[in-house]
Amino acid sequence: MESLKTVYQKKLKDFQKRKNNELTILLYHGVTNSISKGIENHAGKHMEEKNFAKQMKYIRNKCSPISIDEYLFYCENETDLPPNPVVVSFDDGFKNNYSVAAPILDEFQIPAVFYISSGVVNTNMMFWVDVLEDCINLTKKPYINVYLNEKVEFFIDTYEQKIAALNSIKAYCKTRPYFDTKRVLEDIQVATGITPQVDHAENYKKITWDELKVMNDNSLFVIGGHSLYHNILSQLDANMLDKEIRSSLDLLEINLQTSIYHYSYPEGQKNHYNSSVINILKKYGVVCSPSAVPGLNPIDTDPFHLKRIMVGFSELPFPYLDTSL
């Protein structure tokens, strides 16, 4: 399987030659000012505060930052986009979106859209990938046995072994239905002897409803849905899919007292959403749902197939300053 960085370089090889009116959507997850221990945040899902500030300064000075709603307005009215347009987006709903990222966006007056997994707001719940990371990071056991397609023994005595085991188990879970991923998570907790907790790392903490309300009241920011619990939508049956999308939107709309028209697909690759997912999103009033497939967006791109460029995660660089593209 190709690494994220290899896919990034292939899909964006002509980024520096992009057309002036092609939209770039940057995808972030978290911005951190905390110090990580062990393999926690080893993949850089939570970008260092100083690096994010540098990137936002670049966008303010060199690009035309616009909101996702402004982009849709340009499309619907067949109006030319401003030169070098860019939308900043965040997935998941971590507390540091409010405490660290939002003040920087405010400082540089850069609009952003935050796609929130609404079932974890105001809770101590953890995303399944963080559960795996926390258990493998904190265990003192030199190896564990986990049943994937068969029983697999993972040596986890060193930093490198822990990362290798984590990546292998994550890759397996991303191809499996929800109930099997749930079973793997339970097995991992037993095998490692660790009970995962958000308090084990600052970056695991989720945003609260009060914090999200403050962000929703800021005219720079748009709030969208991102499922309830970050379940992969294409893996749900018809009834579960309808319930997942409807409930995730209802929870946001009730707590924020506003209509929600935006969404993004958890994981977001081509196999993680389909026409059934899109039809249900449209059924509940969603007008735009970008993927996480890397690439740029010509003005005529379908708003349910918009591409985004992940930054920071798995050492993916800020594309504007990447000399390899």
What is the rounded CA–CA span in Å between residue 88 and residue 28? 8
286 and 168 in a single domain? The answer is no
Cα 145 to Cα 75, 129, 154, 156, 180, distances in angstroms: 52, 18, 6, 11, 16
Please tell me whether residues 288 and 214 are part of one structural domain: yes
Last residue of a domain, one of 177, 196, 215: 196
Residues 221 and 271 reside in one and the same domain: yes
Q: Are 19 and 108 members of one domain?
A: yes
Q: Are 59 and 88 in contact (CB under 8 A)?
A: yes
In a structure prediction context, what are the per-residue pLDDT tens digits for the chain, which is 325 residues long?
A: 677 888 888 999 989 989 888 999 999 999 999 999 999 999 999 999 999 999 999 999 999 999 999 999 999 998 889 999 999 999 999 999 999 999 999 999 999 999 999 999 999 999 999 999 999 999 999 999 999 999 999 999 999 999 999 999 999 998 888 889 999 999 999 999 999 999 999 999 999 999 999 999 999 999 999 999 998 899 899 999 999 999 999 999 999 999 999 999 999 999 999 999 999 999 999 999 999 999 999 989 999 999 999 999 888 999 999 988 8
Domain span at 153: 128-196
Of 163, 196, 229, the domain-final residue? 196
Instruction: Count up the domains in the chain and report the number.
Output: 2
Q: What is the pTM of this model?
A: 0.95
Say how far apart CA 68 and CA 96 lie, in whole Å: 21
